[in-house]
Chains A and B, each alone.
Chain A
Amino acid sequence: MSFGQLGYDMAHLLGGGVLLLSFVLLYQRRIGAVINAFAMQGALLALAAAWAAHSQGVPGLYLTALLTLAAKGVLIPLALHATVRRLDLHRTVETALGIGPSLVAGVGLVALAILVVLPATEGARALAREDLALALSVVLLGMLMMITRRNAISQVIGLLSLENGLILAAIGVAGMPLVVELSAAALVLMIAVVAAVFAFQIRERFDTLDTASLDEHRGERR
């Protein structure tokens, strides 16, 4: 499989699209736009899963695609929009690191991911190696988003987009059992629910979701 063949091209294009949307997540300044970009990333991931199901001939991946679309593409973004409306949050995203430097860090992380994955996967198929490099990049960018955003909702979205990267890796590697994937997804969902509960508590106590405000109330600081 190489360039010019539709299978390779589509998989490459969809993986690159998911990576592009990770960058869009880092670039946006408004909460609404971040949630919409996350929804689009989920939809694109579902499309990638469906294409992998079609090209690899694994019908189980169709189920993954449907789940991803339902959860990451529709339900979770709707819930987040509702949360933002109900809590009446600030519409702008507070950043700990400026937009420009976080984008530069993002490109550096993608380069790092490529430099790590490619030599380590000598001998595998070209498509699998690239998919793995793209997936690791998405994971790293999700982590970057978690550490450079101060708003708890953005941090949750960073965590969920990290999980998107894990799903992308699972799709690319042929033969990953569905059980592993579903358990990883359930774990992340649990963490997200716990984070949401904490977010509500923080909001009620401190009237803001800026996690930097927690610093003043740490016991050992004084």
Chain B
Amino acid sequence: MLTVLALLVGALLALGVAALPLARSAAGAKAVHGACVAVGALVVAGGLAGLLGGAAAIALPFGPPWGPLRLALDPLAAWFLLPLGIVAGCASLFALGGVRGPVPARLLLPWPIFLAGMLLTILAADGFTLLLGFEAMSLASWALVAHDTAAAENRRAARVYLGFAGFGGLSLILAIGLSAGGAGDVAFAALREAPPEGWRAAAVLALVLAGAGSKAGLFPLHVWLPLAHPAAPSHVSAAMSGAMTKVALYVLARFVFDLMGPAQPLWLGAPLVALGAASAVLGALRATLEDDAKTLLACSTIENVGLIVIGFGLALAFRGADLPALAALAAAASLLHALNHAVFKTLLFLAAGEVLHGALSRRLDRLGGLIHRMPWTAWAALVGVAAAAALPPLSGFASEWLLLQALLAAWRVGDLAFQMGVAAATALAALAVALAAAAMVRFWGLAFLGRPRSPRAAGAQESGGAARIALLVPAVLTVLLGILPGVMLDLAEPALRQVSGAAAPRAGLFAVGAADGGARYWPLAVALLLAAAIGAALWVVRRAAPRGLARGPAWDGGFIAAPAHLPFGDPATQPSAAGFAQPLRRMLGESLLAAREHVTMPPPGSTAPATLETGFRDPVLAALEGPLPRWREAVAAQAERLRGLSIRQCLGLTFGAVVLMLALLAWLEAR
């Protein structure tokens, strides 16, 4: 199977090159996207084969001067192939349905290369291949983010993304270099032989968190995500949020659980838990305050990535404290949530893409009432929203139940400081989940319910066909993954054994459990119980109450007949995006995000309306765009002085450099 996957990488690269001539016609673009759909399906099959079969490793016949490119498919990599394949398939299908004419080459060409980069990163078995895939992934996605440079915010997003991608790549190079030590061999097998200890382990962890963490959207390197993900086309946003973040988390997991050796101390997991909790709360809070649908979904990605990293940190800590069953529980929660999040986030981004195409706006203040005009999109998005809000019996609840059980069991570690930290992390994780529910209710309610807020929203239309199938597939998967998490955990058992050394916690067809003697969650039984309860309510009401409905104008709030120029009623009589967010903005936004509201009242006697301005600042972005450019300019100003040196000073500079080199040589010779 590994050879098939390696050939797929090659096929995707060839497809990217072929996209150049194929972009001239709509049929060519559809062919490219259709081929990507097939690749996605094959990647899922490859992942399943890797989990069910054994591990495999090959060395390609070409590569850098010091050795061939190595690829391997072990259970951890095979698990992460599943979200990659599903997301690639659904996003390509959506793009297929969205082709209405010739697609510009700068949009078509990078897409297969993006998928190839992600696939290569997961299959890599040595540092060079990993970096090759990682950088290809970054550059291709940057090209897609920067495709539309007309708007200033898109240019800013591309600039910030490039900066972070470069920083992340550099950190990963340093991490791999530091892990390899002096040997110079960056194959994973060699890195496993020499696990780092002490300060070297801490340095490697910090560098990996900077590199992979920034790509995944972990606090404090998350600020590029809400800028870049919305700027890309919808299918690319879905792939970036659904697949690219998972690939980055795979790199983190590979380092932390595999390459850094099996015996790491307890405290190594603590920074992961802390950063994960901070990301979760910040991402969820920002999601409740954002006005733009895609930025909201990107902030929700930050939150879910934070939850997954909390799980990784707990698994690491449990491994260090010699509690393998609990480590398996935490790792199971993270792996399952990675898969579930990929599926429902793809669904939500594709639905937002449909809304963007139909109602021509991403801003929640220009949408509304779309459930009447776009029913398929609305109901599919509701499944995604319910999963993102962690409502039983869908997939989001299953993985968050497991994560909460891991957090509630973390006190068994025994170290008092760690116990207190984890108690605080439990409160923060629960806060993040509840804030995510609020954000999702706000998103779906403002976009799809109520009355249209703009004429285009009143006339929105769905595109059927491939785009609709691309929405239905993740929706059905979300329901299935919610009802059968036990099956998925059984499938993931080899990966869990590799990560934590123990099997999944009491999984089976019908239930998932939280370690021996612990609580269990029976999703199928819960779904049946809910269905029975709702059915009973329906039956009783049908028998006791008369049928039929009456329709009338809305009752509360007082409505007059709509004016002629606003046939769907004045949009100001409905909740606005800023208005719906007001309670949370005042409760938490003012302290955490420097949120402010400013009302400007007109002078007495004037009939002009009052204006309400609301806004917030992400503290990391403010730090990034404040002090950092100032330092850069200060350094540049100092460097400018080199231009004004006299001849004597230039000669002196050269002389000083020569003397320094000689001194260095003398010192090295003395050692």
Contact = CB atoms under 8 A, between A and B. Distances in A.
A111 B591 contact: no
Nearest to A118: B416
B660 interface: no
Contact of B417 (A98, A100, A101, A115): A115
B152 to A, nearest CB: 37
B542 to A, nearest CB: 48
Interface in A97-119: 98, 100-101, 111, 114-115, 118
Interface string B586-609: 000001000000000000000000
B416 A114 contact: yes
B591 A115 contact: no
Nearest to B423: A111
A4 B100 CA distance: 74
A203 to B, nearest CB: 33
A45 to B, nearest CB: 26
Nearest to A98: B591
Contact of B416 (A98, A100, A101, A115): A115
Contacts of B417: 115
Contacts of B420: 111, 114-115
A100 B431 CA distance: 15
A115 B418 CA distance: 11
Contacts of A100: 591
Nearest to A110: B420
A185 B321 CA distance: 46
A111 B416 CA distance: 10
A108 to B, nearest CB: 9
Interface in A77-114: 98, 100-101, 111, 114
A111 B421 CA distance: 10
Interface residues of A, number: 7
Interface string A121-165: 000000000000000000000000000000000000000000000
Interface in B419-448: 420
A98 B591 CA distance: 10
A98 B592 CA distance: 13
B538 to A, nearest CB: 44
A98 B416 CA distance: 29
A204 B591 CA distance: 36
Contacts, number: 10
A115 B420 CA distance: 9
A179 B591 CA distance: 47
| A100, A101, A111: residue with the most chain B Cβ atoms closer than 10 Å | A111
Nearest to A100: B591
Contacts of B591: 98, 100-101
A100 B590 CA distance: 12
B483 to A, nearest CB: 39
Q: Which of B417, B420, B591 has the most CB of A within 10 A?
A: B420
Nearest to B588: A100
Nearest to A119: B416
Contacts of A118: 416
Interface string B344-386: 0000000000000000000000000000000000000000000
Contacts of B416: 114-115, 118
Nearest to B590: A98
A203 B420 CA distance: 44
B630 to A, nearest CB: 29
B658 to A, nearest CB: 56
A101 B588 CA distance: 11
A113 B594 CA distance: 31
A117 to B, nearest CB: 11
A19 to B, nearest CB: 16
A221 B416 CA distance: 46
A133 to B, nearest CB: 11
A118 B415 CA distance: 12
A166 B416 CA distance: 25
B583 to A, nearest CB: 14
A218 B591 CA distance: 31
A111 B422 CA distance: 12
A100 B416 CA distance: 25
Contacts of A115: 416-417, 420
B424 to A, nearest CB: 8
Interface string B394-420: 000000000000000000000011001
A101 B591 CA distance: 9
B308 to A, nearest CB: 26
Interface string B63-94: 00000000000000000000000000000000
A126 to B, nearest CB: 14
Contacts of A114: 416, 420
A98 to B, nearest CB: 7
Nearest to A111: B420
A93 B417 CA distance: 34
A111 B419 CA distance: 11
A114 B420 CA distance: 10
Interface string B179-207: 00000000000000000000000000000
Nearest to B587: A100
Nearest to A114: B416
Contacts of A101: 591
Nearest to A112: B420
A152 to B, nearest CB: 27
A5 B548 CA distance: 64
A100 B420 CA distance: 19
A115 to B, nearest CB: 6
A98 B590 CA distance: 12
A185 B309 CA distance: 51
B154 to A, nearest CB: 38
B335 to A, nearest CB: 32
A114 B415 CA distance: 13
Nearest to B417: A115
Nearest to B421: A111
Interface string B462-495: 0000000000000000000000000000000000
Contacts of A111: 420
A155 B170 CA distance: 53
A115 B416 CA distance: 7
B410 to A, nearest CB: 16
B182 to A, nearest CB: 40
A114 B417 CA distance: 9
A118 to B, nearest CB: 7
Nearest to A107: B424
A115 B415 CA distance: 10
B431 to A, nearest CB: 12
A178 B591 CA distance: 47
Interface in B591-643: 591
A158 to B, nearest CB: 23
A114 B419 CA distance: 12
B419 to A, nearest CB: 10
Given A115-B417, A115-B420, 5 more contacts: A100-B591, A101-B591, A114-B420, A115-B416, A118-B416
Interface of A: 98, 100-101, 111, 114-115, 118
10 contacts: A98-B591, A100-B591, A101-B591, A111-B420, A114-B416, A114-B420, A115-B416, A115-B417, A115-B420, A118-B416
* A-B CB proximity, top 9 nearest: A111-B420, A115-B417, A115-B416, A118-B416, A101-B591, A100-B591, A114-B416, A98-B591, A115-B420
